[in-house]
Amino acid sequence: MKILLLEDNKRLNETIVKRLEAKGFEVDSFLDGQEAYEAIDNGYICFVLDINVPTLDGTELLKRIREFNIDTPVIIISSTVELDVIKQSYNYGCNDYIKKPFFIDELEIKIEKLCYIDHDLIEITKSYIFNFKDSLLVVDGKQEHLSRKERLLLNLLLAQRGKVVSFDTIQAIVWEGNFASIASIRSLVRRVRKKIPIDCINTAVDVGYFFKKEKECN
């Protein structure tokens, strides 16, 4: 699971990266807002954005992210407590806010709450187990082959289990920012449904898909 980090304080940036990588995340970190913007469609499951950075500030970057990606969690970092700035961030669609200075543990808790699966193995049914850490599907004790896109889709749907994941978000993460038609997305979902109990993935008509909560698959 990949996270984009935008933080122009190099030491803080390196500290956050080290902590998140120790948790098993893949982190792409940036010191400059424009450079981060050029990478936002690389399949991230979470964004952590400092507001006051060179070239393109975090609030404007958040706004641009939400133009094509409405679901992926965004955490805003700022040294300001100005109400207008905080309000603007939430109006643009941030999911949480943290003020500098902060303990890394505090940021880590917010990331775990919004972006992290707190256990590696997900029991879909007694016969179907998905390993988040290695993106592996195990069926009756045997590994089921998954393509890269199939792995990314299962990661995404199970990370947001019980919530509707939009077509735009599936495109952004599973196709890693490249264009994907609705027909292509539906075709991928059909392939995944053949490899797991078919009634686990439900369609939200004209919106996207969601994975049923625990004990609802059979």
Q: What is the mean pLDDT of residues 73-84?
A: 83
pLDDT of residue 33: 95
Mean of the per-residue pLDDT values of the chain: 86
> Is the pLDDT assigned to residue 71 strictly greater than 80?
no
Q: Where are the domains of the chain?
A: 2-115, 121-211
Q: What is the mean pLDDT of residues 80-85?
A: 73
Q: Is 170:180 a contact under the CB 8 Å cutoff?
A: yes
- pLDDT bucket at 43, cuts 50 / 70 / 90: confident
**Tokens 């686990």 -> residue:** 200
Contacts of 110 (CB under 8 A, 6+ apart): 75, 96, 98
Containing 203, the helix (H) or strand (E) segment is: strand 201-204
- pLDDT bucket at 120, cuts 50 / 70 / 90: low
Q: What is the mean pLDDT of residues 39-67?
A: 90
- State the fold for domain 2-115: Rossmann fold (3.40.50)
Contacts of 182 (CB under 8 A, 6+ apart): 167
**Whole-structure pTM over 0.85, yes or no?**
no
- pLDDT bucket at 2, cuts 50 / 70 / 90: confident
Backbone φ and ψ for 16, nearest 5 degrees, come out as -65, -45
pLDDT of residue 116: 59
> Is the pLDDT assigned to residue 199 strictly greater than 60?
yes
Q: Is 49:62 a contact under the CB 8 Å cutoff?
A: yes
Longest CA pairwise span in the chain (Å) = 55
Q: What is the mean pLDDT of residues 169-180?
A: 82
- State the fold for domain 121-211: Arc Repressor Mutant, subunit A (1.10.10)
Backbone φ and ψ for 98, nearest 5 degrees, come out as -140, 135
